[in-house]
Amino acid sequence: MAEAGREDLGGELILAALRGEREAARELIRAGADLGAADERAGGSALHWAAFWGQWRIARDLVEAGAPELARELLAREESARLGREAGEGGGRGRRGRRV
Protein backbone atom coordinates (compact mmCIF):
# COMPACT_ATOMS: atom_id res chain seq x y z
CA MET A 1 0.00 0.00 0.00
CA ALA A 2 1.40 3.40 -0.95
CA GLU A 3 2.29 5.87 1.77
CA ALA A 4 -0.64 8.12 2.49
CA GLY A 5 -1.89 10.30 5.32
CA ARG A 6 -4.39 9.02 7.87
CA GLU A 7 -7.15 11.05 6.22
CA ASP A 8 -6.35 9.62 2.78
CA LEU A 9 -6.41 6.13 4.26
CA GLY A 10 -9.69 7.02 5.97
CA GLY A 11 -11.22 7.78 2.56
CA GLU A 12 -9.95 4.48 1.23
CA LEU A 13 -11.38 2.75 4.30
CA ILE A 14 -14.79 4.28 3.59
CA LEU A 15 -14.65 2.94 0.02
CA ALA A 16 -13.63 -0.52 1.24
CA ALA A 17 -16.57 -0.50 3.67
CA LEU A 18 -18.97 0.62 0.93
CA ARG A 19 -17.76 -2.12 -1.39
CA GLY A 20 -17.69 -4.85 1.26
CA GLU A 21 -13.95 -5.40 0.81
CA ARG A 22 -13.13 -6.80 4.24
CA GLU A 23 -9.47 -7.68 3.65
CA ALA A 24 -8.78 -4.23 2.21
CA ALA A 25 -10.57 -2.65 5.19
CA ARG A 26 -8.53 -4.71 7.65
CA GLU A 27 -5.30 -3.77 5.91
CA LEU A 28 -6.25 -0.08 6.06
CA ILE A 29 -7.11 -0.37 9.76
CA ARG A 30 -3.69 -1.95 10.42
CA ALA A 31 -2.03 0.81 8.38
CA GLY A 32 -3.53 3.43 10.72
CA ALA A 33 -6.46 4.75 8.69
CA ASP A 34 -8.51 7.45 10.38
CA LEU A 35 -11.49 5.50 11.74
CA GLY A 36 -13.46 8.70 12.21
CA ALA A 37 -12.99 10.02 8.67
CA ALA A 38 -16.30 11.05 7.09
CA ASP A 39 -17.55 10.91 3.52
CA GLU A 40 -17.54 14.49 2.18
CA ARG A 41 -20.92 14.16 0.46
CA ALA A 42 -23.04 12.31 3.00
CA GLY A 43 -20.94 12.66 6.16
CA GLY A 44 -20.91 8.94 6.96
CA SER A 45 -17.90 7.16 8.42
CA ALA A 46 -16.62 3.76 7.33
CA LEU A 47 -18.58 2.23 10.21
CA HIS A 48 -21.76 4.02 9.15
CA TRP A 49 -21.48 2.79 5.57
CA ALA A 50 -20.55 -0.74 6.60
CA ALA A 51 -23.67 -0.86 8.78
CA PHE A 52 -25.88 0.78 6.16
CA TRP A 53 -24.91 -1.80 3.53
CA GLY A 54 -25.03 -4.74 5.94
CA GLN A 55 -21.28 -5.36 6.01
CA TRP A 56 -21.45 -6.60 9.62
CA ARG A 57 -18.00 -8.22 9.69
CA ILE A 58 -16.37 -4.99 8.57
CA ALA A 59 -18.47 -3.06 11.09
CA ARG A 60 -17.32 -5.39 13.87
CA ASP A 61 -13.69 -4.98 12.77
CA LEU A 62 -14.08 -1.20 12.94
CA VAL A 63 -15.66 -1.29 16.40
CA GLU A 64 -12.95 -3.62 17.68
CA ALA A 65 -10.33 -1.25 16.24
CA GLY A 66 -11.81 1.63 18.23
CA ALA A 67 -14.19 3.45 15.88
CA PRO A 68 -15.41 6.74 17.43
CA GLU A 69 -18.42 6.69 19.77
CA LEU A 70 -20.67 8.61 17.37
CA ALA A 71 -20.00 6.03 14.68
CA ARG A 72 -20.89 3.28 17.17
CA GLU A 73 -24.22 5.02 17.84
CA LEU A 74 -24.91 5.09 14.10
CA LEU A 75 -24.10 1.39 13.91
CA ALA A 76 -26.58 0.65 16.70
CA ARG A 77 -29.29 2.63 14.89
CA GLU A 78 -28.63 0.90 11.57
CA GLU A 79 -28.62 -2.54 13.16
CA SER A 80 -31.86 -1.77 15.00
CA ALA A 81 -33.47 -0.59 11.77
CA ARG A 82 -32.25 -3.72 9.96
CA LEU A 83 -33.70 -5.98 12.62
CA GLY A 84 -36.99 -4.09 12.41
CA ARG A 85 -37.07 -4.46 8.64
CA GLU A 86 -36.33 -8.18 8.90
CA ALA A 87 -39.05 -8.65 11.51
CA GLY A 88 -41.49 -6.81 9.25
CA GLU A 89 -40.75 -8.98 6.22
CA GLY A 90 -42.50 -12.04 7.56
CA GLY A 91 -45.53 -12.89 9.60
CA GLY A 92 -48.09 -11.00 7.53
CA ARG A 93 -48.31 -8.09 9.93
CA GLY A 94 -48.67 -4.41 9.10
CA ARG A 95 -46.77 -1.44 10.49
CA ARG A 96 -48.57 -1.52 13.83
CA GLY A 97 -48.35 -5.27 14.33
CA ARG A 98 -51.85 -5.96 13.07
CA ARG A 99 -52.59 -8.82 10.71
CA VAL A 100 -52.87 -7.70 7.09
The count of structural domains within the chain is: 1
Domain membership of residue 15 as a residue range: 6-89
CATH of the domain at 50: 1.25.40.20
pLDDT at 90: 56
Q: What is the pLDDT of residues 77-95, one digit of tens each?
A: 777 888 888 888 655 444 4
Say if 19 falls within a structural domain: yes
Say if 75 falls within a structural domain: yes
Say if 55 falls within a structural domain: yes
Say if 14 falls within a structural domain: yes
pLDDT at 3: 45
The residues of the chain scoring below 70 in pLDDT are 1-7, 70-72, 74-75, 89-100
Say if 100 falls within a structural domain: no
Contacts of 58 (CB under 8 A, 6+ apart): 16, 17, 20, 22, 25, 46, 50
